[in-house]
Amino acid sequence: MKAQIYKIHSDFYYVNFGHEVYECKVREILKKQKEKILVGDFVELDEINENRKTAVIIKILPRKNFLTRPSVANVEQVVIISSIKEPDLDFEQLNRYICLAKYHKIKTKLCFNKNDLSEDDSVIEKIFQIYEPLGFEIVFTSALEKLGIEDFAELIGNKLTVFAGNSGVGKSSLINVLSPGLNIRTKEVSEKTARGTHTTRHCEIIEIGKRETVNSKRNVIKIIDTPGFSNVKFDFIMPNEVDELFDEIKKYKSNCKFKDCLHIQEEGCSVLDNIDDIDLSRYQSYLSFVEESREFKEKVKTQGTKKETSHKESSNKKVAKISAKKREVSRSTFKQNIYKDLNEA
């Protein structure tokens, strides 16, 4: 029986199955394989108890995609929510989320909340100037004043959407406006630190009933609400791969003199020749991500990338492997038994 994980709490996994919520545990062999189950994963169930509404997860089905920060699977799009003020818009942090979604090949849209707090139009003009030429769909909202909410619902559509953004930007507030009955907990941004605090503690798929949108379509809105994250780092890719995450840099790279050009100070760099066509904040983000990726390169140099896996493929099936330590003990015991048999013979 197939179902989708919509919430994870402690060691329990919750799925919607036959219009009922079932609480699931994981079969022991999956635990031994150390397969991490994510919100959004499709799984196969067994030992279904209709009276107690419990089941056992026996298999994780192949993923269409996944994100690492936040950890979710099988999403159709990412909506990055930023705030114009309180906290102030952080362009580098926004670029981090954009590049992370691009790395995982997931379509991205942008929402800028707390538009009612904007004191001038310079920030809004800068947003359009940078991100509209890159092809992003953009909406401006105010959860407090309930402005732009229909445009926001239209932006989401009927796709399974994950919200990403820093704490305090208003992700939960926007969900509450879309569906007031949910009454998700929210909290004011700290006056002392000018930063938000975590009110959403875990990822969860929230389904909002059919809603009339601007184009008269009735969409079932499905959102994965996530905790706010600010420490996304690009210490998992090589420096020469970072330019693939910036379309405005990528389009010039093929004309660079050297194939491994990092577009920093190299001779014959086409990107630097066209630097006036690239927004400064985007280029500064690129430089920051390249510097972070160098940590990964150094790690690969000193440690390598080979890891001991917890499972192996056998006849197109994943089979749990015995750990290296246990294998060593097993071999020693096997040899001792051979010598014992020889001595007895």
Q: Is 319 helix (H, G, I), strand (E, B) or coil?
A: strand
- Mean pLDDT, the chain, rounded, equals 84
pTM here is 0.78
C-alpha R_g of the chain = 25
Q: May I ask the CATH class of domain 2-62?
A: mainly beta
Extents of the domains making up the chain: 2-62, 67-225, 239-303
Q: Which fold has domain 67-225?
A: Rossmann fold (3.40.50)
Residue 193: the pLDDT is: 38
Question: What is the helix (H) or strand (E) element at residue 101, kind and residue range?
Answer: helix 91-103
More confident site: 311 or 60:
60
239-303 has which fold? Ribonucleotide Reductase Protein R1; domain 1 (1.10.40)
pLDDT at 334: 66
Q: Which of 25-34, 104-113, 180-189 has the weakest average pLDDT?
A: 180-189
Residue-wise pLDDT tens digits, 8-35: 988 899 998 778 899 999 998 888 887 7
Judge whether 79 and 155 are in contact, CB under 8 Å.
yes
Token pair, residue 33, equals: 């394989």
> Does 329 have pLDDT greater than 80?
no
At 53, the pLDDT band (50, 70, 90 cuts) reads very high
Tell me the residue type at 285: S
